[in-house]
Amino acid sequence: MSPAPIVDARAIHKHFGHLHVLRGVDLQVAEKELVFLIGPSGSGKSTLLRCLNRLEEPSAGSVTVDGIDMLDPRTDINKARQRIGMVFQSFNLYPHMTALGNVALALRKVQGLPRADAEAKAQAALERVHLADRADHYPAQLSGGQQQRVAIARAIALEPRVMLFDEPTSALDPELVGGVLAVMRELREDGMTMVVVSHEMGFARAAADRVVFMADGLIVETGPPGEIFANPQHERTRAFISQIERH
Ligand SMILES: Nc1ncnc2c1ncn2[C@@H]1O[C@H](COP(=O)(O)OP(=O)(O)O)[C@@H](O)[C@H]1O
Ligand SMILES: [Mg+2]
């Protein structure tokens, strides 16, 4: 018997007014698995990620992360969210704080660590994203790729059990994408459970355990990257992949 999935989302529906954006999505993620989520713009990928940590409230369905029922009103949602790191397209660093300050602030605010402890942990997190030597730089002194790596350090410093990435390289100049993907691969090799929304098919081929293709608020098909890319079963998947690969 396989162990219980660390992320277990079932029959998720989400309505925004009359818009039915998620129409019954099931997503289970095993510990240490990297699930790569693809699909056309507007298919509901971001909304699904946001439902996993309850940044959006699903209209129906259940979400369990690391054994915690995320939708139970008795769940301490702020505490539960500490288990789920999230990285967005925009890095959202505080411009008036150094790289170290940005990472340490999260530790002080969320974990209540004293400054010295927070800074020691922040420095270790910056080392993991290969920015130890940029700790005292302000965001404006860092490239977009370095800023995104600080954002990743800020998330992993909190020692999450799962990391969600929503198009982490979409805002970057092409030459800066590789450094961010390299850090993500190292995280995966260290055993982090990850759900990644991205168009970086090369990364998916190299690092994903499973690709999930979504369209119109539903999962159309799922499988190992080799199968989904080389031999998609559904016409919509085929069309989407051939379109992406032309870029
Ligand atoms: N807060 C919101 N209010 C209203 N509609 C939204 C909101 N967030 C997303 N949507 C709509 O939900 C649909 C899915 O969006 P999204 O999850 O962002 O898709 P994707 O990430 O796959 O591009 C889109 O039609 C989008 O306009
Ligand atoms: Mg999106």
pLDDT of the residue at 7: 98
Q: Pocket around ligand 1: residues whose beta carbon is below 6 Å from it? A: 16, 19, 21, 39, 41-47
Sorted by sequence, the CB contacts under 8 Å of residue 5 that are 6+ apart come out as 28, 29, 30, 31
Whether the full predicted model's pTM is greater than 0.95, yes or no, is yes
Atom 9 of ligand 1: nearest residue by CA position: 47
CB 160 within 8 A of CB 82: yes
* Domain spans in the chain, listed from the N-terminal domain onward: 7-245
Sorted by sequence, the CB contacts under 8 Å of residue 152 that are 6+ apart come out as 87, 129, 168, 180, 183, 184, 187
> Mutate which of 46, 47, 195 to test ligand 1's pocket (most atoms within 8 Å of Cβ)?
47
Reply yes or no on whether the pLDDT at 1 is more than 80. no
> Mutate which of 14, 21, 198 to test ligand 1's pocket (most atoms within 8 Å of Cβ)?
21
Reported as a single tens digit per residue, the pLDDT across 149-189 is 999 999 999 999 999 999 999 999 999 999 999 999 999 99
CB 168 within 8 A of CB 9: no
Sorted by sequence, the CB contacts under 8 Å of residue 148 that are 6+ apart come out as 87, 91, 168, 169, 171, 172, 180
Query: How far is Cα 217 from Cα 203, in angstroms, rounded to an integer?
Result: 24
* CATH top-level class of 7-245: alpha beta
pLDDT of the residue at 63: 98
**Orientation of helix 144-156 relative to helix 99-111, angle to 10°:** 20
Reported as a single tens digit per residue, the pLDDT across 127-154 is 999 999 999 999 999 999 999 999 999 9
Atom 4 of ligand 1: nearest residue by CA position: 16
Distance from Cα 18 to the centre of ligand 1, integer Å: 12
pLDDT of the residue at 245: 77
pLDDT band at 244 (very low <50, low <70, confident <90, very high): confident
